Chain A
């Protein structure tokens, strides 16, 4: 799938990636701002995400509720998402509406603040509090995605605190915070704009220049505190959480090099050997053979600064204790350290990664998002087309060498969920 990729930068610092492909009359517009929860100041956890909600509340030339309506009227889909170190906004449309998406993104990049009101902020604050209840507080195991970063990153580290934020901090967010966050981070020189799919590059270049060109460069953003961490935790970190959950569940994380590094591809292939689909080691041993687990999977967090995480996520059978489960998961890691992996396991993992990759990139928006990611983090969107080669370069020997340094007891963090009643009974 050789799709052209053009890259250029406007005078105001906005980096643009164009990847035309006329297979279907569909176009994807995708805008990454290089800001996430890591950039939040103390006492404002959750603000980057609350701010993302405010970007759908209209801008100088777009009324309340009009942003969604204009895109949906055009027959498009849209959304945004906030992550630890980036926030993205995206529209997928019938291709003749590409101008609309660019216009909407330019209006909110250049002219957001005139549309901001206290009432909109208060409503979105309530919406976000309900998002927190829905995704974290009223969901079994829902706290894992704020507990795990809190366990594995030291307190002062920008990835330590909650992305969705605390209720108190959400309450504290003000319109002044909106204005200063916007001025600091939502600037063309802190963003990457990608257009992928069916469009005329020359035309879109002209539109982008007219719409985004006049937006002034930002003042520069404050540097993040140091993100570098030692290659391993140094000991086995453990946290046990008694919760209203029916089955014990273990998240076991290992610190790994940042996403995009050569070693990260080794870790990603190892994650697939361990926990991608039914033929993986965790499923084979824990679900099928030992029958200690009901589900098992493994994945990487894909963080590009400081370090990344490899996470094993295993849910126990009802009669299996968290200690038994943890010991069985540890034994699987120990076996990789001692004996490495087989060539057929490596081939299986790489083959599945390749199929998933080809499958995903049929979608214009998926491709646009990956291009934005590669440009934002590495300044080189063409990395997207070399991804598969990097997975294929991983060998049995590099995996074992990596496992020896990375999977040991000095680099494990266990987040252990246990049913509340059971743990009370244990204590009695």
Chain B
């Protein structure tokens, strides 16, 4: 019962209003540290993030996998003069939220605080970084929590799929093969002195950038940041980036059994390229077309055309070393095989140099248009500037980001697809009901089907 009502034509956009990424200033601090300040006078908040480029997981010794993340967590567990509880209470009494974590490339210790409490919050942050206690009972508690987290991870099909992906993708010599947060064995064996040693070697002003975003001027920010590093005389550690050697030279299927699972978690993955690779922008657009946008090829195919899934996405995990690229989806158990065929067919089609100019234009205008939308909060700006420091991006990176995207041609995208989506090295991870999938996976003819027990992933290589 629809009556035709008059309806206006789709409106044309008005003139765009210019946007600039918040301007920031970089200043030197003592001992090789630096502070980067973006003054944003919007709400009375300041986000400050200490980025330590030598304290990520790639600085770990074999057998100590996970020590970077655990050391960062232990910074929240107290200082020589304050228990972990007292430290937490002191931050939270200010309305400040504090975090400390480590990824592959860096440790980041940050706080978002009301401007009026910035002085106190940053003094606490400095104490946390400079005078950590590494008390045995706190370590024992975090080790027990880590062991419980591992149990949860092994029961969660999405996490299991990610862990299995890196396990199957990288050679045993690669740190990227094993969980970022370590395994029960590597974490369980650590002593307080191991963490203290990791901290004293890797937390050093020479590899630190302190990022400040929010309601603060550059002078004040510099004054607040200086005590975090002043007088902290340590030698800079050698930084090594991950070599990222592949485990298999040819495609294989890795099947992880979850009896009676109603869905199969799928990951089609291969080793990507380091963040600093010259094809970064071409790959970003290629990936957007393939699996980054809602209107991407794999989402339109697997979700909107076939109804196999709630969603299909693809992305690079950008690191200083070559992190993985993967296409991810979860599909009904009964449509797993046709979904895999579609995923592989889309990968082959992308690789064949079929990107259209309409697809390129859509991806480019999406990524350039959403650029300002990504930086509405002090945390978002601080986090972008932290990545800038971690990957040592060019000074004008944010100012030229949209131009760089627009400069990518169709030929660049096709070339990136053909070079970086080669079938060699593609691995397929399936977390699902093996009894119902095993036979069909063999018949796909992609490669050998390995059945991987979750416990294997957790154990040493």
Contact = CB atoms under 8 A, between A and B. Distances in A.
A294 interface: yes
A343 to B, nearest CB: 11
B85 to A, nearest CB: 6
Interface stretch (B201-209, B246-254, B305-313, B391-399): B305-313
Given A77-B370, A96-B14, A126-B308, A279 B89 contact: yes
B366 A73 contact: yes
B376 interface: yes
Nearest to B264: A138
B406 interface: no
B122 to A, nearest CB: 15
Contacts of A263: none
Given A127-B303, A127-B309, 20 more contacts: A24-B19, A24-B376, A25-B17, A72-B366, A73-B361, A75-B371, A75-B373, A99-B13, A127-B310, A133-B262, A140-B155, A214-B5, A214-B7, A277-B92, A279-B85, A279-B89, A294-B145, A355-B96, A355-B97, A359-B379
A214 B6 contact: yes
Contacts of B89: 279, 344, 348
Interface stretch (B28-36, B124-132, B146-154): B146-154
A126 B335 CA distance: 11
A362 B373 contact: no
Contact of B330 (A23, A94, A138, A244): A138
Contacts of B348: none
Contact of B156 (A106, A125, A139): A139
A151 interface: no
Contacts of B308: 126, 130
A284 B76 CA distance: 14
A245 interface: yes
Nearest to A283: B88
A74 interface: yes
A294 to B, nearest CB: 4
Q: 5 tightest CB-CB pairs across the interface, nearest first?
A: A75-B369, A126-B307, A351-B95, A99-B11, A25-B17
A351 B45 contact: no
B112 interface: yes
A315 B94 CA distance: 28
B240 to A, nearest CB: 33
A391 to B, nearest CB: 12
A263 to B, nearest CB: 24
A284 B85 CA distance: 7
A76 to B, nearest CB: 6
A34 to B, nearest CB: 22
A94 B8 contact: no
Given A65-B300, A96-B17, A246 B92 contact: no
A351 B145 contact: no
A181 interface: no
B7 A110 contact: yes
Contacts of A427: none
B10 A291 contact: no
Contacts of B17: 25, 94-96, 198
Nearest to B151: A246
Number of chain A interface residues as a range: 35 or more
A125 B310 CA distance: 10
B376 A363 contact: yes
A91 to B, nearest CB: 11
Interface residues of B, number: 82
Contact of A100 (B10, B141, B370): B10
A352 B305 contact: no
A29 to B, nearest CB: 13
Contact of B262 (A137, A278, A279): A137
A291 B377 CA distance: 35
18 contacts: A72-B366, A74-B369, A75-B370, A94-B16, A96-B17, A97-B369, A113-B2, A126-B307, A140-B155, A183-B1, A198-B17, A214-B5, A244-B155, A288-B84, A294-B148, A315-B152, A318-B148, A358-B44
Specify the main secondary structure of chain B where it touches its partner: mixed
B144 interface: yes
B110 interface: no
Nearest to B300: A65
A197 B419 CA distance: 42
B76 to A, nearest CB: 7
Contacts of B113: 355
A216 to B, nearest CB: 8
A355 B152 CA distance: 31
Contact of A278 (B76, B307, B367): B76
A344 B148 CA distance: 32
B13 A96 contact: yes
Contacts of B145: 287, 294, 317
B418 interface: no
B151 A318 contact: yes
Interface of A: 1, 23-26, 60-61, 64-65, 68-70, 72-77, 92-100, 102-103, 106-107, 110-111, 113-114, 122-131, 133-135, 137-140, 179, 183, 198, 207, 210-211, 214-215, 244-247, 277-279, 284, 287-288, 291, 294, 315, 317-318, 344, 347-348, 351-352, 354-356, 358-359, 361-364
A65 B295 contact: yes
Given A77-B370, A288-B141, A72 B261 contact: no
Contacts of A131: 310
Nearest to B265: A138
Nearest to A361: B43
B376 A130 contact: no
A347 B263 CA distance: 46
B2 A111 contact: yes
Given A103-B11, A347-B93, A294 B370 contact: no
B372 A134 contact: no
Interface string B118-138: 000000000000000000000
* Most chain A Cβ neighbours within 10 Å, of B43, B45, B157: B43
B114 interface: yes
A97 B89 CA distance: 45
A99 B13 CA distance: 7
Contacts of A288: 84-85, 141
B304 A123 contact: yes
Given A355-B96, A359-B377, A61 B331 contact: no
B376 A362 contact: yes
A215 B114 CA distance: 46
B378 interface: yes
Given A352-B92, A363-B376, A103 B141 contact: no
Contacts of B97: 277, 352, 355-356
A207 B376 CA distance: 26
A387 B154 CA distance: 41
Contacts of A103: 8, 10-11
B263 A140 contact: no
B147 to A, nearest CB: 7
A322 B16 CA distance: 58
Contacts of A134: 263, 309-310, 330
